[in-house]
Amino acid sequence: MRDVELVTERLIDHLIDGIEKSSTICILVSFLMKSGVELLKESLQRAAERGADIKICTGDYLFVTQPEALQALCNLHENIEVRLYKSNGTAFHPKSYMFEFENNGYFIVGSSNLSRSALTTGVEWNLAVSGEKEVYEKALNEFTKLMYHEQTVPVNEFTVKAYQKEYETYHQQHPNLVRTLTTSEEIELMLPTKKKNKVPYEVVHESSAPYETIQPRFAQIEALEELEKTIEEGYNRALVVMATGLGKTYLAGFFAKRFNRVLFIAHREEILHQAKQSFQRISIEKTCGIYNGKQKERHADYIFASIFTLSMKQHLEVFDRDEFDLIIIDEFHHAAAKSYQRVLDYFKPSFLLGITATPDRHDNKDVYAICDGNVAYRIDFLEAIQRQWLAPFRYYGIYDDTDYSQLTWLGTRYDEQELLQVQLRKEMADKILQAWEKHKQTRTLVFCSSIKQADFLAHYFQQHGYQTVSLHSKQMEISRKQAIDMLTEGELDAIFTVDLFNEGVDIPSVDTLLFVRPTESLTVFTQQIGRGLRLYPEKDACVIIDLIGNYRNADVKLSLFDTAPNRKGKANIHPTVPASCDIQLDTKVINLLQEMARKRQPRKEKLNAHYLEVKQELGRRPTYLELHLKGKSNSVEYKQEFKSYIGFLHWAGELSEREREVFYRYEPWYIEVEKTGMAKSYKMVVLLAMLQRGVSAWYDSITPEQVAPFFHRYLTEAEYRKRIDFSDKETKRLWDYDEQKVSKLIVNMPMKKWSGSSNGLVFFENNHFKLNLEVKKEDEPILFEWTKQICEYRLHYHFERKANTTK
């Protein structure tokens, strides 16, 4: 039964009651005060200790949130997850408290932020609602999307320190923004926000599959073969990278046929419903169900679940840990690692498959980490074009004279109002129209920065006699399906959109793409390019018309079209495109890109920025392997630039005084372990065997006979290791353990070989392998840990690289 109550005083009593009784606690407030945390901390701690699922999200808008409040939550309990929304100057004013009981949801929405005055003595109005299960579920779903939005960061020791600096700087510049009445009561800043029109959420379903016969074809056949090999080789997780338009979802459906119960996870409703339809067409004998904020069909053979729903504890624990034989994660580069990690930590499937079109290190946390770096199959859109599986392109780079360096950069995008001032000009619209008229074909998709720009340009094109529509979340006059049908039938010349068609919905008939927005994300740009490359009977090629100015990434975006990219990571403004494709750039564009390339961020600073992003997410200094798996930059660049990962940490000021002493004392050793050649893994396997002996004994001499059991077991227990490094004529005979023969192998390679190439740091004599290191007792823990990190990284990188080059 529904129960609604207006709470005008002492909200704290309602909150404590909810915290004490509920299994799920979600708090979303525009700002936190230390005084508010003090009021709730004992209740929150008790709830965390009994296993309640606790999530808190707050914002940095106008830097009202106190660093002390964030620090207090950091220290409260490890099971309390806190994230900070980086508002980038955009108003952020939510205030809600949500509680999940055994059979009911209860939530409070109103005016109260988390401070003592707001929860006790202040004049506040809040509406408390219980019994509205559907509304509660929707609110919970929206909370999770915001909690794990790309603009949020985890609150940990590292991010709190970074926020503290920003907070102090901002308040020095704005000393009268927030005044403290006492140490425990604050005047809270209440500012007006822009009104937003709420429109119904529309899910577009594909009415039919693109193939007449539901059988694997093209890249799907190759990918399925490689996945079968992957299973045979003993992997239990893999990633498939397949360009948009090649049928990733159908591939997953074909692969799923070999499993009984399957969980398919995605972050968009469109993808869930389309995947369900695709799987049903492939496996008509299987039952399929949706598990999201609205539907809870949990007993089907194949379940298609929203990550935002599934990552909530009360929904996750509905399922047994080993309930699914196969888990498929679709386009998981979009999701915050934390929400996916919770799901992956919980379930124990026989196999985990990640599928994506754009796992770009330059743009995202590295998605390879989810699948342990094992890429079973990869084909990008350039190779697919070369194999005639996707349409070729003709790219026209049109000069945009806007000076983007004068616009405020907000971390992930340009300031919207400043950008609109330069975009909503008749001169700009006329230039766009002329470029489009010169190069267009029949059906155009236009990618804009904002709703206002989409509306403005659609109207401008209409004034010049063209049939266009602006399609976005506030469009009420026409649905997406109607617009798609009209474009396909030739009743529209162009659709102007804002991110609606990045993924999940396809229009194969589109033969022209027009970009009138700065390219802020290489991943999004790649996805948008894919919208025009699907094969279609009347399409010979896709025309891409792209306005290029001095915005971020302008000088590297063309590398996405390069079939022979520069191995040193430098941008190439004259990419080598497939033979069927063409790139034409305005002379001014060429001059601009050359100038921008000369001014690129120095390599060392780029590596440091990407390192700090990983550190921020983890809340601590990442290990070498973590940096490789999660970092945007290629990990090899750290060794190239600094000789070793430890050398980078020293340069970046990440080492303590004690660690710096150990670094200086043993620096040649780190460089040797980093740089010694590895045609096979044997050197690092021997070193790993030595490390198994522990902190104080690992660097003692060791005989081949002592290494042999570990060496053999390590290389034969995983099929992929056996295939890569233990399957030539000599080592095949050693698959059945023979200590004498394995020891002989170890003597020749790696022990003698490493001894001869190490400049005296390693030597082999009298059947003993030794390190030329005099280790001080107090240095042992640090030296052991750093050696172990380099060893584990090199082994992982070796097998990852070798496996990928053989596929």
695: pLDDT strictly greater than 90: yes
Count CA within 13 A, CB hemisphere, residue 693.
Answer: 14
> What confidence score (pLDDT) does residue 185 get?
37
pLDDT 10s digits, 772-805: 999 999 999 999 999 999 999 999 999 888 876 6
Q: Which domain holds residue 299?
A: 219-379
Cα radius of gyration rounded to whole Å, the chain: 29
For residue 477, count other CB atoms closer than 10 A to its CB.
7
pLDDT interval class at 594 (50, 70, 90): confident
Residues 473 and 580 in one domain: yes
Q: Are 20 and 50 in contact (CB under 8 A)?
A: no
pLDDT 10s digits, 419-464: 999 999 999 999 999 999 999 999 999 999 988 999 999 999 999 9
> What confidence score (pLDDT) does residue 369 get?
58
Q: What percent of the chain has pLDDT over 90?
A: 56
Mean pLDDT for 218-239 is 89
353: pLDDT strictly greater than 60: yes
pLDDT 10s digits, 159-205: 998 899 888 888 887 776 544 433 333 433 433 333 333 333 343 44
> What confidence score (pLDDT) does residue 803 get?
75
402 part of a folded domain: no
797 part of a folded domain: yes
Q: What percent of the chain has pLDDT over 70?
A: 89
- Supply the angle between the helices 739-746 and 704-716 in degrees, to the nearest 10: 100
Q: In this structure, what token pair is assigned to residue 359?
A: 């796992």
Residues 257 and 370 in one domain: yes
pLDDT interval class at 399 (50, 70, 90): very high
613 part of a folded domain: no
520: pLDDT strictly greater than 90: no
Q: Are 711 and 746 in contact (CB under 8 A)?
A: yes
> What confidence score (pLDDT) does residue 373 get?
65
pLDDT 10s digits, 750-769: 999 999 888 899 999 999 99
| 379, 401, 435 - which closes a domain | 379
Q: Are 272 and 306 in contact (CB under 8 A)?
A: yes
489: pLDDT strictly greater than 70: yes
Indicate the pTM of the whole model: 0.67
629 part of a folded domain: no
367: pLDDT strictly greater than 80: no
pLDDT 10s digits, 14-73: 999 999 999 899 999 999 999 999 999 999 999 999 989 999 999 998 899 999 999 999
Residues 352 and 491 in one domain: no
249: pLDDT strictly greater than 60: yes
Exposure string for 756-779, b = 16+ CB within 10 A, e = fewer: eebeebbbbeeeebbbeeebeeeb
Range with the lowest mean pLDDT among 332-346, 643-657, 682-696?
332-346
Residues 107 and 227 in one domain: no
349 part of a folded domain: yes
Residues 519 and 445 in one domain: yes
148: pLDDT strictly greater than 90: no
Residues 239 and 147 in one domain: no
| 561, 583, 598 - which closes a domain | 598
Q: How far apart are CA 441 and CA 75, in angstroms?
A: 60
568: pLDDT strictly greater than 70: no
Range with the lowest mean pLDDT among 167-176, 338-347, 390-399, 602-611?
167-176
Q: In this structure, what token pair is assigned to residue 407?
A: 């616009």
pLDDT 10s digits, 496-508: 998 766 555 678 9
pLDDT 10s digits, 81-118: 999 998 876 778 999 999 988 777 889 999 999 999 89
Q: Which residue, 683, 792, 679, is CA-closest to 745?
A: 683
pLDDT interval class at 693 (50, 70, 90): very high
Give me the residues paired with residue 467 across strands.
none
364: pLDDT strictly greater than 60: no
> What confidence score (pLDDT) does residue 738 get?
93
Q: How far apart are CA 175 and CA 708, in angstroms?
A: 68
pLDDT interval class at 480 (50, 70, 90): confident
Q: In this structure, what token pair is assigned to residue 788?
A: 């172990």
Mean pLDDT for 248-275 is 92
Q: Domain with 34 in it: what CATH number?
A: 3.30.870.10
> What confidence score (pLDDT) does residue 218 get?
86
Residues 167 and 271 in one domain: no
The gap from C-alpha 724 to its chain's centroid, in whole angstroms, comes to 29
Listed in order, strand segments (DSSP E) in 468-550 are 468-471, 494-497, 512-515, 542-548
Q: Are 767 and 609 in contact (CB under 8 A)?
A: no
> What confidence score (pLDDT) does residue 411 get?
59
Longest dimension (CA), the chain: 89
> What confidence score (pLDDT) does residue 189 get?
40
417: pLDDT strictly greater than 90: no
Q: Domain with 498 in it: what CATH number?
A: 3.40.50.300
> What confidence score (pLDDT) does residue 183 get?
36
For residue 251, count other CB atoms closer than 10 A to its CB.
26
Query: Phi first, then psi: what are they for 541, rounded to 5°?
Result: -160, 160
> What confidence score (pLDDT) does residue 155 get?
93
Residues 425 and 557 in one domain: yes
Residues 456 and 550 in one domain: yes
- Supply the angle between the helices 219-232 and 248-256 in degrees, to the nearest 10: 40
> What confidence score (pLDDT) does residue 569 get?
47
Residue 380 Cα distances to 171, 391, 499, 561, 635, angstroms:
48, 13, 21, 10, 22
pLDDT interval class at 806 (50, 70, 90): low
Residue 468 Cα distances to 396, 450, 480, 495, angstroms:
22, 16, 13, 6
> What confidence score (pLDDT) does residue 475 get?
75
| 581, 598, 615 - which closes a domain | 598
Helix count and strand count (H, E) for the chain: 31, 24
Residues 78 and 134 in one domain: yes
> What confidence score (pLDDT) does residue 83 get?
93
163 part of a folded domain: yes
Residues 36 and 83 in one domain: yes
The sign of the torsion formed by the CA atoms of 735, 739, 742, 746 equals positive
Mean pLDDT for 126-140 is 83
188 part of a folded domain: no
> What confidence score (pLDDT) does residue 202 get?
41
Range with the lowest mean pLDDT among 53-57, 512-516, 551-555, 632-636?
551-555
646 part of a folded domain: no
328 CB burial (10 A radius; 0-12, 13-18, 19+): buried
Q: How many domains does the chain have?
A: 4
694: left (phi over 0), alpha (psi -120 to 50) or beta: left
> What confidence score (pLDDT) does residue 207 get?
40
For residue 135, count other CB atoms closer than 10 A to its CB.
13
Residues 152 and 225 in one domain: no
Q: Which residue, 564, 544, 487, 556, is CA-closest to 520?
A: 556
Mean pLDDT for 552-571 is 73
Q: In this structure, what token pair is assigned to residue 174?
A: 């704005």
Mean pLDDT for 241-246 is 88
pLDDT interval class at 613 (50, 70, 90): confident
